[in-house]
Amino acid sequence: MNGPVPVEVLKQHLIDPEICIRCNTCEETCPVDAITHDENNYVVRADTCNGCMACISPCPTGAIDNWRDVLKVDAYAVDDQLTWDELPVQDDALAGQGTIGEAAPGVAGGASADVPEPVIAGSDFVRGSVVPPWSAAKPYVNLYNHKAPVQATVVGNYRLTDASTESDIHHIVLDFGKQPFPVLEGQSIGIIPPGTSSDGRAHHARQYSIASPRDGERPGYNNLALTVKRVTKDHQEQAVGGVCSNYLCDLKKGDVVNVMGPFGSTFLMPNHADSHLLMICTGTGAAPMRAMTEYRRRRRLKGATGKLMLFFGARTQGELPYFGPLLNLPKDFIDTNLAFSRTPGQAKRYVQDAMRERAADVAALLRHDHTYIYVCGLKGMEDGVLQVLQTIAGDAGLDWQALWQRMKTEGRLHLETY
Ligand code: A2P
């Protein structure tokens, strides 16, 4: 006689389309390729996700940390999830009964409890830290969302890059007036562009790093700056009009912008005085480095110590945002190294090349337990920078694998590339 077939209830991993800012962090982090996306949503394949939780901590908004108990046979399909504007409600009859999916074949792990296991900060597939520096200030996150954004007023918008160059990068200052909007260096915000896309849906928010220190673009003011590049081409060099970047770059003083956030609780700077910052960036990836540098500059007068070393890459000098102000910073305050890839008549030079040239000084920083590394900018740079760090460490007699692991777990290696 056949017994009753057990009904399996799955704790299905879902992404909240209302909060998600489509930053791609989860898809990049997932070690089993369970996450995919289209132009509408980021979604999780129920038959692939093994509940390893690697994606949970890096997500800047928390949109990733959503679960529904469903009959396994009724698990929400990817095609359905891609059409969602909001998450489905939990069926009360199944609530609390689900277990997280089995590990996919060949993949270690697979949590099976109701309570998700915390991600292991030093796990192999996460290349950077998923914890902040121990001395970082506590950030506020998600104070405003797309349903209840905060309105900021544009108080400044000017082009940073040389008028003769193709790169149109803007410095845009937003003022929050009397509305609370506390931020830390390294955090980001979401901008909700007005209007709808061709399918009639409201545009999604886009994420931008904050370029100002915590006490304001203008010290003591409740404002912050963004560094925004006008998107005119996609990665395949095809002409596209970036919805949000064009909206932002065209803003006039007095315009009002809908803002979400703040986001981010790991890419934060240490607050202890003798901590060193090794900052590596390209293009608009300079924004968080500018915020951290300016905070240190303001604190320096109050006795902050610790070295600042910056590697900054751009196509040409005219396309490097904040070129003038950067060079005006005192040499004994920040060790600035620029790398230009398209200066006529000169060899292509990337930040990695500049780091190699300064290997002895980079190695000295790597040896120091209070060195914090920040990488922000083009995705392609991430591999190159990790490789050159490995070479520099190896040549200096350091065990890079052990050091890398330690830096990750100690919140000392922060990667934000796109
Ligand atoms: P390239 O001239 O090869 O594009 P962008 O202006 O597109 O934001 O790029 C900023 C800088 O980053 C440019 O100098 C660009 O050089 C450089 N870059 C491109 N790919 C890499 C990479 N894989 N590693 C480091 N820098 C890179």
What is the distance in A from the centroid of ligand 1 to the CA of 340?
Answer: 9
Confidence band, pLDDT 50/70/90 cuts, at residue 103: very low
Which residues line ligand 1 at a C-beta cut-off of 6 Å?
167, 282-283, 313-315, 341-342, 350-352, 378, 380-381, 384
pLDDT single digits (tens) 134-156? 999 999 999 999 889 999 999 99
pLDDT for residue 176 is more than 90:
yes
Instruction: Give the pLDDT score at 107.
Output: 33
Pair of tokens at residue 406:
């330690």
What fold characterizes domain 150-263?
Elongation Factor Tu (Ef-tu); domain 3 (2.40.30)
The enclosing H or E element of 150 equals: strand 150-159
Identify which of 256, 222, 228 has the alpha carbon closest to the alpha carbon of residue 153. 256
**Mean pLDDT (the chain, rounded):** 90
What whole-number percentage of the chain has pLDDT above 70? 92
150-159 and 256-263 beta bridge pairing = antiparallel
Q: What distance, in Å, lies between the first and last C-alpha atoms of the chain?
A: 58
Instruction: Give the pLDDT score at 122.
Output: 39
Identify which of 371, 382, 372 has the alpha carbon closest to the alpha carbon of residue 416. 382
Q: Do 9-94 and 150-263 come out as alike in CATH topology?
A: no
pLDDT for residue 6 is more than 70:
no
Instruction: Give the pLDDT score at 102.
Output: 59
pLDDT higher at 22 or 410: 410
Long-range contacts of residues 22-25, Cβ cutoff 8 Å, at least 24 apart: 22/204, 22/206, 23/60, 23/207, 23/418, 24/418, 25/55, 25/58, 25/59, 25/60
Per domain, the residue ranges of the chain are 9-94, 150-263, 276-417
pLDDT single digits (tens) 334-386? 999 999 999 999 999 999 999 999 999 999 999 999 999 999 999 999 999 99
Pair of tokens at residue 255:
């315009």
pTM: 0.86
The enclosing H or E element of 291 equals: helix 286-300
42-44 and 371-377 beta bridge pairing = unpaired
Residue 366 known to bind ligand: no
Pair of tokens at residue 87:
């998450």
Confidence band, pLDDT 50/70/90 cuts, at residue 120: very low
Instruction: Give the pLDDT score at 199.
Output: 81
Pair of tokens at residue 121:
């900060």
* Mutation to probe ligand 1, out of 282, 284, 379 (largest number of atoms < 8 A from CB): 282
Instruction: Give the pLDDT score at 108.
Output: 32
pLDDT single digits (tens) 180-233? 999 999 999 999 999 988 888 888 899 999 999 999 999 999 999 999 999 888
Instruction: Please report the DSSP string for 347-409 in residue order.
Output: ----HHHHHHHTHHHHHHHHH-TTEEEEEEE-HHHHHHHHHHHHHHHHHTT--HHHHHHHHHH
pLDDT for residue 118 is more than 70:
no
Give the whole-angstrom CA distance, residue 341 versus residue 218: 33
Instruction: Give the pLDDT score at 7.
Output: 77
* Mutation to probe ligand 1, out of 170, 340, 350 (largest number of atoms < 8 A from CB): 350
pLDDT single digits (tens) 271-294? 998 899 999 999 999 999 999 999
Nearest ligand 1 atom, CA 384: 24
Average pLDDT over every residue of 390-407: 97
Sequence-distant (≥ 6) Cβ neighbours of residue 171 within 8 angstroms: 156, 157, 158, 159, 160, 211, 225, 226, 227, 321, 322
What whole-number percentage of the chain has pLDDT above 90? 73
CATH 2.60.40.1180 holds for 276-417: no
pLDDT for residue 109 is more than 70:
no
Domain boundaries 9-94, corresponding CATH code: 3.30.70.20
Confidence band, pLDDT 50/70/90 cuts, at residue 4: low
Instruction: Give the pLDDT score at 5.
Output: 59
